[in-house]
Amino acid sequence: MLRIRGRSVAWVPPLVLLGAIALLDVYTGADFRIISWMVLVPGIAAAICGVRGTAAFAVLALVTYALADTAWPEEYQTGLPDFVLLAVGGVLAVLACAVRVRDERRLLHIQDVAETTRRTVLRPLPSGWGGLDHAAVYLAADSEARVGGDFYDIQPGPHGTRVLLGDVQGKGLGAVEAAAALLGTFREAAYHEADLSAVARRLETRMLRHRVHTVSLGHADGDRFATAVLLGFPEPGGLELVAFGHEPPLLVGPDGVRALPPGDGLPLGLGELAADGPPPVRRMPLAPGTTLLLTTDGVSEARDGDGEFYPLADEVARAVAADPGVADPGSLVAFVRDGTLRHCGGHLADDTTIFAVRQTATGDTVPGRLRP
């Protein structure tokens, strides 16, 4: 916590306190001795220093106490009782520091595990992956969380590049497990299946299988579902889309901002309730330079102090009209992130994912057309 140019200066506060107490004890006079306040020195060190540093300050406080106290005439010395108090305080401070350091190491290990989990679920995506420029940001409603039920990925393959973004209902480890299961299926199906509708069916089946498995383990996940948007880029200038109860992406480009009509598909895991079967694949042309902006509930449900929702489409449209460069995926994601946090005062009601993709300037999707 206390570092200057990479070097720890945690020893400075307890050392300054030790010197100040010793100096004040000289000037406060015999009627008001404060040398026993030295017990504060190892206590402060225990909060910010390591175990060895705390032990060193406990010993240094004892030595300083002994020298400062014996410098006074015998009738003004605080004597052995305060010395014992300082010694006991130093021992307790060292023990408290050892407990603090152990807990900090345990917390760092847990954070490392959480970060590894996040990178496994939301794997890093190379620049230009699958012939797409992309940018993403994930904001957890819980400031201590590293990963939640939001998920996204890009999967290139021999049938073009596919993109998936979704939000698992609920929170906690159960939502993370469901997101990981769906992403695993997407990464395989999006690569091998020639038809995007087959990828959609595989995702629906995977969600149902996951629920059966978790219920068999005794977990209360029997009604869990996930909203999602599945995109396909079979060729330059072409777009395929399947919506599973999720808001469709915004098309942001040189001609402005356009919201695609909402799909009528049900969320993943609820497909058996649909009378017309799985949601259809919608195919449409995609103008060069158009960025697709996908978000989760954290953006659509962000409210200000008056309870007004964040006007995403209007805000993006005004920004692009003022500066067409905002349509760049990186700039667009940053703009929406800042606007969402500003609108809700930094208090997110749900985990938030902002994901933007755009076909590369050359329209070359060859990097995505890997051969089996």
Instruction: Taking residues 319-330, report their average pLDDT.
Output: 91
| Confidence label for 367 from pLDDT (cuts 50, 70 and 90) | very low
Spatial CA neighbour of 96 closest among 46, 138, 141, 137: 46
Asked whether 203 and 165 are in contact (CB, 8 A), the reply is: no
How far is it, in rounded angstroms, from Cα 317 to Cα 307? 22
Question: Does residue 26 register a pLDDT over 50?
Answer: yes
350: exposed, middle or buried (Cβ count in 10 Å: 0-12, 13-18, 19+): buried
Among 34-43, 145-154, 292-301, the least confident range: 145-154
Spatial CA neighbour of 335 closest among 351, 304, 312: 312
Pair of tokens at residue 110: 């847990």
Spatial CA neighbour of 177 closest among 137, 231, 129, 217: 217
> What residue has token string 């939001």?
150
pLDDT at 121: 74
Residue 1: count of CB within 10 angstroms of its CB:
7
Question: Does residue 308 register a pLDDT over 80?
Answer: yes
Q: What single DSSP character describes residue 92?
A: H
pLDDT at 54: 92
| Confidence label for 368 from pLDDT (cuts 50, 70 and 90) | very low
Instruction: Taking residues 276-294, report their average pLDDT.
Output: 88
Instruction: Taking residues 182-190, report their average pLDDT.
Output: 94
pLDDT at 147: 62
246: exposed, middle or buried (Cβ count in 10 Å: 0-12, 13-18, 19+): buried
How far is it, in rounded angstroms, from Cα 291 to Cα 133? 9
* C-alpha separations of 348 from 114, 118, 143, 345 in Å: 20, 19, 10, 8
Pairing status of strand 282-285 against strand 238-244 = antiparallel
Instruction: Taking residues 156-166, report their average pLDDT.
Output: 94
Question: Does residue 363 register a pLDDT over 90?
Answer: no
Among 212-216, 220-224, 306-310, 334-338, the least confident range: 220-224
Q: pLDDT tens digit string along 73-122?
A: 776 777 788 888 889 999 999 999 999 999 989 988 877 776 776 677 77
Domain ranges of the chain: 3-114, 126-368
| Confidence label for 347 from pLDDT (cuts 50, 70 and 90) | confident
Q: For the chain, give the percent of residues with pLDDT over 90.
A: 39
Q: How far apart are the first and last CA of the chain?
A: 50
Instruction: Taking residues 5-11, report their average pLDDT.
Output: 79
Question: Does residue 369 register a pLDDT over 50?
Answer: no
How far is it, in rounded angstroms, from Cα 112 to Cα 322? 42
Element (H, E) at 80: helix 80-121
Q: What single DSSP character describes residue 281?
A: P
Pair of tokens at residue 340: 């969402």
Question: Does residue 146 register a pLDDT over 60?
Answer: no
Estimate the crossing angle of helix 196-216 against helix 173-192, to 10 degrees.
150
Pair of tokens at residue 63: 């030595």
Instruction: Taking residues 316-345, report their average pLDDT.
Output: 91
| Confidence label for 215 from pLDDT (cuts 50, 70 and 90) | confident
Highest mean pLDDT among 35-49, 70-84, 131-145, 215-229: 35-49
pLDDT at 362: 60
Residue 110: count of CB within 10 angstroms of its CB:
11
Asked whether 212 and 224 are in contact (CB, 8 A), the reply is: no
Classify domain 126-368 at the CATH superfamily level.
PPM-type phosphatase domain (3.60.40.10)
Q: What is the mean pLDDT of the chain?
A: 85
Q: Is the dihedral of CA 180, 182, 187, 192 positive or negative?
A: positive
pLDDT at 262: 77
Question: Does residue 195 register a pLDDT over 80?
Answer: yes
| Confidence label for 144 from pLDDT (cuts 50, 70 and 90) | low
Question: Does residue 337 register a pLDDT over 90?
Answer: yes
Q: pLDDT tens digit string along 38-51?
A: 889 999 999 998 99
How far is it, in rounded angstroms, from Cα 372 to Cα 166? 27
Question: Does residue 350 register a pLDDT over 70?
Answer: yes
